[in-house]
Amino acid sequence: KQEVTQIPAALSVPEGENLVLNCSFTDSAIYNLQWFRQDPGKGLTSLLLIQSSQREQTSGRLNASLDKSSGRSTLYIAASQPGDSATYLCAGNTGRRALTFGSGTRLQVQP
């Protein structure tokens, strides 16, 4: 059974800092891995999706990497802004097709 872990659980940084969010998964037979953003009381916004054949994806200030062999993915946020404050979730897609979510990292970017 796939298990997904996210570290740290919470993070507070000053505006402008570059930061890395970590995600680890137990089943390396992963089809893809997604990173989502969730604002308080809201649904999910998909940020990046990395297919199993890919090693990274980039969108604007966001870069996500995937290392299947070590069971790890990272989300890099460059030049953080207060508007980046949210909970970031990673989720792995394995053979069952449903996503297994991590517990999330709550990010607070201080102005």
Partner 1 sequence: GAVVSQHPSRVICKSGTSVKIECRSLDFQATTMFWYRQFPKQSLMLMATSNEGSKATYEQGVEKDKFLINHASLTLSTLTVTSAHPEDSSFYICSARARNLRGGIGSDTQYFGPGTRLTVL
Q: Which of 34, 73 has the CB closer to partner 1? A: 34
What's the CA gap between 47 and 36, in Å, rounded? 5
Q: Is residue 55 at the binding interface for partner 1, with CB under 8 A as the rule?
A: no
Q: Is residue 101 at the binding interface for partner 1, with CB under 8 A as the rule?
A: yes
Residues 58-87, interacting with partner 1 (CB under 8 A): none
Six-digit token string for 26: 């137990």
Q: Is residue 93 at the binding interface for partner 1, with CB under 8 A as the rule?
A: yes
Indicate which single residue of 28, 52, 63, 74 sits in contact with partner 1 (rule: CB under 8 A).
Answer: 52
Distance (Å) of CA 28 to CA 35, 76, 108 = 17, 21, 31
Q: Is residue 41 at the binding interface for partner 1, with CB under 8 A as the rule?
A: yes
Indicate which single residue of 51, 58, 108, 110 sits in contact with partner 1 (rule: CB under 8 A).
Answer: 51
Question: What distance, in Å, lies between the first and last C-alpha atoms of the chain?
Answer: 41
Six-digit token string for 41: 């009381």
- List, in sequence order, the alpha helices (H) in the chain: none
Q: Is residue 44 at the binding interface for partner 1, with CB under 8 A as the rule?
A: yes
